[in-house]
Amino acid sequence: MKPSLAPGLTHELRFVVPPGKTVPRLYPESPEFAAMPEVFATGFMVGFVEWACIRAIADHLDAGEMSLGVHVDLSHDAATPPGMEVVARVRLEQVDGRALLFSAEAHDERDRICAGTHRRFVVDRARFEAGVARKAG
């Protein structure tokens, strides 16, 4: 981790919600999800916030490092139909060793759709991938 990885870093990410990021497509195998309205799925919204956090710190990690999401505490406050732009704004609030805490908020073209916090942890990519390979057998 570079010394520049410090509280106060911010990032804004914009994305136009496609039909493929709506609730019915979250788990196509699920008839329960398939019957739901076509709005931005909470699962994809969480991924969108994570994406913004990853981008916020990308230039502040050393070669061979990556970050992993370890905790999510986000509301989902309003429905967003496909075709509407969403904007996530994240701020790195705390760095405790390799543990990172972000505040996050997202809006669509009309409403705040999300607010909360997200925790990530900086890891060595090769070591992490070796552990996953061992687990996979």
- pLDDT (average), residues 88-109: 98
pLDDT digits (tens, 9 = 90+) for 33-80: 999 999 999 999 999 999 999 999 999 999 999 999 999 999 999 999
The mean predicted confidence, pLDDT, of the chain is 97
Give the domain 10-136 fold. Thiol Ester Dehydrase; Chain A (3.10.129)
Active-site hit among 76, 105, 107, 118: 76
Q: Where are the domains of the chain?
A: 10-136
Active-site hit among 11, 22, 50, 105: 50
Q: Is 105 a catalytic residue?
A: no
Q: Is 22 a catalytic residue?
A: no
Q: Could you tell me what percent of the chain has a pLDDT over 90?
A: 100
Q: What is the pLDDT at residue 56?
A: 98
Task: Quote the pTM value.
Answer: 0.95
Indicate the length of the chain as a whole number. Answer: 137
